[in-house]
A and B are shown apart, each in its own frame.
Chain A
Amino acid sequence: MANYKLQINGRSFEADVDADTPLLWVLRDTFGLVGTKYGCGIAQCGACTVHLNGNAVRSCSLPVSAVGTNKITTIEGLSANGDHPVQAAWNEVDVPQCGYCQAGQIMSAAALLSKKPKPSVDEIESAMNGNICRCGTYHRIREAIILASSKI
């Protein structure tokens, strides 16, 4: 066990956990930030996607000891009022079915648009191909990203 100070959503958090604890479980079990989901544990499904200095990363495969002073953003910190253009587009297009994967999808999409505000459809699909939606909402995810892109 060791003490880790983390910068998450613009705030400071501290946790005494094992060095190899994935950030995912520190977020969920220690800090109560449960919007970040467990789906596979091996960086294959994208449900656990968060931002590390603005880049989309899989928190299930990122040990807490590797986070350091890098800035983490989770779905809870993406916007103050749930009104990030990607979130607004997700509602407008009515994307979610079961909804479980959607926080990860939104974080992947938001990271894409922050780097490439006007991505092509191919670029959207490449950026989103690591996020599985078992309900099959892919059409609406793509549509919502295009909509958000038009408003950024």
Chain B
Amino acid sequence: MKTLAKTSRRNFMKIAATAGGGLFLGFHWGDTLGSSMEVLNPKSVAAGDVSFNSYLSLSPDGIVTIFSPNPELGQNIKTSFPMIVAEELDADWTRVKVVQAALDTRKFERQLTGGSGAIPHSWERLRKAGATVRQMLMEAAANKLKVPVSSLATANGMVIHAESGRKVGYGELANDAAAIPVPAAVTLKDKKDFKLIGQAIRNVDNAEMITGKPLYGLDVYKEGMLHAMIQRPKAFGMKIKSVDDSAAKALPGIVDVVTFKNNVAVVGKSTWQVMKARKVLKVEYEAEGAIESSTDHDKIFKTLLESKDAQVKRSDGDVDAAFKSAAKVISREYQCPFLSHSPMEPMNFFAHVREDGVELIGPSQTPDMARNETAKLLGIAPDKITLELTRLGGGFGRRLKADYVVEAAELSNIIKAPVKVTWSREDDMTGGSYRPAVRYRFQAALDAKGNLIGYKLRGVGINAGNCTREDNFPSGAVDNLLIESVEHKSPITTGAWRAPITNFLAYAEQSFLDEVAHAADRDPVKFRLDLLDKAKQSPVGAIKYDIDRMKGVISLAVEKSGWGTKKNVAQGFSVYFSHRSYVAQVAEIGMKKGQPILQKIYAAADCGIVVNLSGAYQQVRGGIVDGMGHAMYSKLTFNDGTPEEKNFNTYRLIRMKEIPEIDVHFINNGIDPTGLGEPALPPTGGAIANAIFKATGKRLYNQPFIHQEELKGVNLGVRL
């Protein structure tokens, strides 16, 4: 294969010269493999720049370079992290350049994306990083202007001496400032003085993303790089019995076919040649464990719901006595299917294992873990491995695992060549690590006055670990309570899926509380508020959520949605605490041509201080779209150990025509940020299900909703 378009080369060089935002594109012409291109992040501070700390360097002409250490997968961290540093530095945001930092455990802590924890973890240290340099620049300016530091102020990348009207740019001060001893303590800004934090700031990578620049793992093309795809076992619980790779090896462009562990890797010169060769592999498999189907899981759930050896996660009071004395008992079960993470960019990684070290490049939520696992596999020290982070084309928890990184390294080690392993969409959907399937049984005991006097939850899951969140609301508000969890171990791999466990538990719990409120003849919002009041006045056991913050989002959602005051719409309410933050939602269903239409969702969120209003608003709206789409449409059905759904023609994701209007409001309480990547998702399914009940009188106990018997004959038309 060769390419002769010289005009095209000039085009690339031009792109290289104009590429901004810390991305440098080099374009090289290979001898044997045609074109090759590299996605490169600068590995260190640019020449001439003055480095102050892990996060920050200054150029003499005043450009502030901020290194953003955490993986960016759409949560907007690459914009919001630098905003925090720039705020305390009093930088001119138009002169800030953001660079994705490579993995560096000496410079950065918790360099991972998960648990909605990046900003809560780094808030203080990012502020200090900026404030420290600001202090050093002030001291340098004081020396230069021969005035006391106390007479100086900063704004927009300049130190200002108000008395004389003199101003000195940060760039001009950079070298002198770097010579000043780093202050042991610095004063952080009063939050009311924030200028940048709380603003709607556009994504720093917009220009690159909307012009198609190479940003992602799949865009990595290195000199001499081979392409590979891996045939993994056709079902969970199977292993390779025999491999006949002769036909595949004979095809053009195929360099090698290698079998390691339960993988057959086809290695070639282009993606398509590798894809074609895979089709002629003859691999036979045999069982090495249980080969399970969804029908087996349904039976397992029924058994485990009655099992005697559940793990007790929380026990308050005497539930047996409460249920015996109850005037009314309500018992309901809820079940969800396995889900695929399905980020739009399938799994992939580049690896080059050499004698002198290992180079890894690609999209990972946990680069440190990926490096450690690779080091362990290869039997080398982690510091022999460099790991550069590309932008992640989504993650949703799938890229918390390092399987796809380690296998790329293992393959490179075997073939002694640089290689990019690409997963097809089918590989990605059938290759494992799913949101686990779970079933819950909720039971409530009401006294004659409709008070909740007893509450039981048993969760049973397939590789779900503890599938309850035993300290969540309404724990603490019920005198007699029992929360239990049972796990079935399966060969089907599972993992964290955006808002792990709570992505379904919240729907089940909030649907159940709605049903209990109706049984108690109480307004569903009032019912929750009464419970929260009880938890405040006479808490039962430990309370690990903030009652006032939860009440705050409830009040805001009620106010914004006009809860209970509207005619011609059916409203459903839900509120949930997860990952340190609080979100309440109201879903509204109206009628159109005699059919119920989900037309609007209101959200009230308390994530503490909002760092970037644009990113935060979309994070909530996107979380709701995500929560709604999966509650409504998505499922993996296992048949003989493998999902029936293998691509987007059968695995349904939400599309533009299906979205309701979404109205987002934030509580502005000045609390340090508490995280927002996940908390907006969990409440959505419950709000929708409760609105469906209000509109149709039908309760939904299983996801996805569109497959439920209860919705037969109901066109839950989201303008479908």
The answer to whether A and B belong to the same complex is yes
User: Considering the chains assembled together, what is the distance between the CA atoms of A69 and B352 in angstroms?
Assistant: 39
Answer whether residue B211 sits at the interface, using C-beta atoms and an 8 A cutoff: yes
With A30-B1, A91-B207: A18-B74 Cβ-Cβ less than 8 Å: no
Instruction: Mark contacts of B196-239 with chain A using CB atoms, 8 A cut-off: 1 yes-contact digit, 0 otherwise.
Output: 00001011011101111111101101000001000000000000
Select one of A16, A37, A42, A87 contacting B344, CB under 8 A.
A37
Answer whether residue B249 sits at the interface, using C-beta atoms and an 8 A cutoff: no
Select one of A15, A37, A125 contacting B218, CB under 8 A.
A37
The count of residues in chain B whose C-beta lies closer than 8 Å to any C-beta of chain A is: 79
Q: Which of A83-138 contact B (CB under 8 A)?
A: 87, 90-91, 94-103, 106, 124-126, 128-129, 131-138
Instruction: Mark contacts of B630-665 with chain A using CB atoms, 8 A cut-off: 1 yes-contact digit, 0 otherwise.
Output: 000000000000000001110001111101001000
Instruction: Mark contacts of B320-363 with chain A using CB atoms, 8 A cut-off: 1 yes-contact digit, 0 otherwise.
Output: 00000000000000000000001111100000000000000000
User: What's the least CB distance linking B529 to chain A, in Å?
Assistant: 30
Q: Which of B17-54 contact A (CB under 8 A)?
A: 27, 34-37
With A40-B425, A87-B210: A129-B618 Cβ-Cβ less than 8 Å: no
Q: Which of A1-47 contact B (CB under 8 A)?
A: 1, 9, 11-18, 20-22, 25, 28-42, 44-45, 47
Q: Decide: B649 and A44 in contact? CB cutoff 8 A.
A: yes
Q: Decide: B76 and A97 in contact? CB cutoff 8 A.
A: yes
Answer whether residue B122 sits at the interface, using C-beta atoms and an 8 A cutoff: no
Of listed B1, B36, B215, B614, residue having the most chain A CB within 10 A: B1
User: What's the least CB distance linking A80 to chain B, in Å?
Assistant: 10
Instruction: Mark contacts of B257-300 with chain A using CB atoms, 8 A cut-off: 1 yes-contact digit, 0 otherwise.
Output: 00000000000001111001000000000000000000000000
Answer whether residue B8 sits at the interface, using C-beta atoms and an 8 A cutoff: yes
User: Considering the chains assembled together, what is the distance between the CA atoms of A41 and B36 in angstroms?
Assistant: 22
With A45-B344, A135-B394: A106-B624 Cβ-Cβ less than 8 Å: no
Q: Decide: A132 and B207 in contact? CB cutoff 8 A.
A: no
The count of residues in chain A whose C-beta lies closer than 8 Å to any C-beta of chain B is: 68
Answer whether residue B252 sits at the interface, using C-beta atoms and an 8 A cutoff: yes
Q: Decide: A90 and B206 in contact? CB cutoff 8 A.
A: yes
User: Considering the chains assembled together, what is the distance between the CA atoms of A14 and B34 in angstroms?
Assistant: 11
Residues of B within 8 A of A29 (CB): 34-35, 221, 227, 270-272
Q: Decide: B655 and A99 in contact? CB cutoff 8 A.
A: no
Residues of B within 8 A of A31 (CB): 3, 5, 8, 35
User: Considering the chains assembled together, what is the distance between the CA atoms of A137 and B396 in angstroms?
Assistant: 15
Q: Decide: A37 and B271 in contact? CB cutoff 8 A.
A: no
Q: Decide: B1 and A136 in contact? CB cutoff 8 A.
A: no
User: Considering the chains assembled together, what is the distance between the CA atoms of A131 and B346 in angstroms?
Assistant: 16
Answer whether residue B450 sits at the interface, using C-beta atoms and an 8 A cutoff: no
User: What's the least CB distance linking A131 to chain B, in Å?
Assistant: 8
Residues of A within 8 A of B206 (CB): 90-91, 94, 96
Q: Decide: B212 and A75 in contact? CB cutoff 8 A.
A: yes
Answer whether residue A72 sits at the interface, using C-beta atoms and an 8 A cutoff: no
Q: Decide: A13 and B3 in contact? CB cutoff 8 A.
A: yes
Answer whether residue A140 sits at the interface, using C-beta atoms and an 8 A cutoff: yes
Answer whether residue B626 sits at the interface, using C-beta atoms and an 8 A cutoff: yes
Answer whether residue B393 sits at the interface, using C-beta atoms and an 8 A cutoff: yes
Residues of A within 8 A of B37 (CB): 32, 34
Q: Which of A38-58 contact B (CB under 8 A)?
A: 38-42, 44-45, 47
Q: Decide: B647 and A42 in contact? CB cutoff 8 A.
A: yes
Closest to A88 in B: B210
Q: Decide: B648 and A45 in contact? CB cutoff 8 A.
A: yes
With A134-B343, A136-B624: A100-B270 Cβ-Cβ less than 8 Å: no
Q: Decide: A136 and B2 in contact? CB cutoff 8 A.
A: no
Q: Decide: B8 and A76 in contact? CB cutoff 8 A.
A: no
Answer whether residue A141 sits at the interface, using C-beta atoms and an 8 A cutoff: yes
Q: Which of B616-630 contact A (CB under 8 A)?
A: 618-619, 621-626, 629
Q: Decide: B210 and A22 in contact? CB cutoff 8 A.
A: no
User: What's the least CB distance linking A38 to chain B, in Å?
Assistant: 6
Closest to B622 in A: A136
Q: Decide: B344 and A11 in contact? CB cutoff 8 A.
A: no
Residues of A within 8 A of B396 (CB): 134
Residues of A within 8 A of B345 (CB): 37, 39, 98, 100
User: Considering the chains assembled together, what is the distance between the CA atoms of A18 and B719 in angstroms?
Assistant: 43
Q: Interface of chain A, helix or strand or loop or mixed?
A: loop
Select one of B12, B210, B648, B662 contacting A96, CB under 8 A.
B210
Residues of A within 8 A of B649 (CB): 42, 44
Answer whether residue A71 sits at the interface, using C-beta atoms and an 8 A cutoff: no
Q: Decide: A16 and B210 in contact? CB cutoff 8 A.
A: no
Q: Decide: B5 and A13 in contact? CB cutoff 8 A.
A: yes
User: What's the least CB distance linking B100 to chain A, in Å?
Assistant: 13
Residues of A within 8 A of B271 (CB): 25, 28-29, 38
User: Considering the chains assembled together, what is the distance between the CA atoms of A16 and B253 in angstroms?
Assistant: 12
Closest to B200 in A: A94
Select one of B207, B214, B629, B659 contacting A139, CB under 8 A.
B659
Q: Decide: A11 and B8 in contact? CB cutoff 8 A.
A: yes
Q: Decide: A18 and B273 in contact? CB cutoff 8 A.
A: yes
Select one of A74, A102, A139 contacting B209, CB under 8 A.
A102
User: Considering the chains assembled together, what is the distance between the CA atoms of A112 and B207 in angstroms?
Assistant: 22
Residues of B within 8 A of A39 (CB): 344-346, 425, 648
User: Considering the chains assembled together, what is the distance between the CA atoms of A29 and B342 in angstroms?
Assistant: 23
Q: Decide: A22 and B211 in contact? CB cutoff 8 A.
A: no
Answer whether residue B528 sits at the interface, using C-beta atoms and an 8 A cutoff: no
Residues of A within 8 A of B219 (CB): 34
Residues of A within 8 A of B209 (CB): 96, 99, 102-103
Q: Decide: A136 and B3 in contact? CB cutoff 8 A.
A: no
Select one of A11, A74, A87, A139 contacting B621, CB under 8 A.
A139
User: What's the least CB distance linking B602 to chain A, in Å?
Assistant: 14
Q: Decide: B272 and A17 in contact? CB cutoff 8 A.
A: yes
Closest to A35 in B: B212
Residues of B within 8 A of A32 (CB): 8, 12, 27, 35-37, 221
Select one of A14, A75, A106 contacting B3, CB under 8 A.
A14
Select one of A13, A30, A44, A124 contacting B270, CB under 8 A.
A30
User: Considering the chains assembled together, what is the distance between the CA atoms of A136 and B664 in angstroms?
Assistant: 14
Residues of B within 8 A of A97 (CB): 74-76, 618-619, 622
Select one of B4, B8, B205, B659 contacting A138, CB under 8 A.
B659
Answer whether residue B392 sits at the interface, using C-beta atoms and an 8 A cutoff: yes
Instruction: Mark contacts of B9-21 with chain A using CB atoms, 8 A cut-off: 1 yes-contact digit, 0 otherwise.
Output: 0011001000000
A residues whose Cβ falls under 8 Å from a Cβ of B: 1, 9, 11-18, 20-22, 25, 28-42, 44-45, 47, 74-76, 78, 82, 87, 90-91, 94-103, 106, 124-126, 128-129, 131-142
6 contacts between A and B (CB under 8 A): A17-B272, A21-B270, A29-B271, A91-B207, A98-B395, A131-B655
Of all A-B residue pairs in the complex, the 6 with the closest CB atoms, nearest first, are A35-B212, A136-B625, A100-B393, A98-B74, A75-B212, A97-B74
Known: A14-B3, A76-B211. 10 other contacts (CB 8 A): A15-B3, A34-B37, A37-B344, A37-B345, A45-B648, A96-B206, A98-B395, A128-B656, A131-B655, A135-B622
B residues whose Cβ falls under 8 Å from a Cβ of A: 1-5, 7-8, 11-12, 15, 27, 34-37, 72-76, 200, 202-203, 205-207, 209-216, 218-219, 221, 227, 252, 270-273, 276, 342-346, 391-396, 422, 424-425, 614, 618-619, 621-626, 629, 647-649, 653-657, 659, 662, 719
